[in-house]
């Protein structure tokens, strides 16, 4: 997997979690079209880097639910990744044109 692909996956995860911190890993996997194991691996990396913080609690169905909160470092990373993505897209557009 290329660095661009890894950055894109991180950006997607940060974006989806910013929209809804209570998304399950299974839901993230379906939305992104990638394997559940890859989502788990990437989330662990984002936690290790301090971009997201994991909180768990019990919901009414008596099971543990996880919430992924973006940290200030995570918000900063999301901005940088978005900028890099848009910059690459503009460069691709310019080459194609």
Instruction: Indicate if the alpha-carbon torsion angle 32, 34, 40, 46 is positive or negative.
Output: negative
pLDDT at 80 over 80: yes
Alpha carbon distance 51, 6 (integer Å): 15
pTM above 0.85, yes or no: no
Q: What is the pLDDT of residues 63-74, one digit of tens each?
A: 667 889 999 999
pLDDT at 62 over 60: no
Residue pair 51/73 in contact by the 8 Å Cβ criterion: yes
Structural domains in the chain plus CATH codes? 3-96 (1.10.10.10)
> Mean per-residue pLDDT for 7-14?
92
In order of 7, 24, 65, 94, the CA distances from 3 in angstroms are 6, 25, 31, 21
């Amino acid at each position: 997997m290329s660095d661009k692909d890894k950055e894109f996956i991180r950006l997607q995860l940060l974006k989806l979690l910013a929209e809804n911190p209570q998304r399950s890993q299974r839901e993230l996997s379906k939305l992104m079209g990638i394997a559940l194991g890859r989502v788990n691996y990437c989330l662990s990396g984002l936690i290790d880097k301090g971009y997201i913080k994991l909180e768990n609690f019990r919901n009414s169905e008596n099971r543990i639910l996880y919430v992924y909160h973006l940290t200030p470092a995570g918000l900063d990373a999301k901005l940088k990744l978005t900028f890099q993505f848009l910059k690459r897209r503009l460069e691709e557009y310019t080459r194609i044109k």
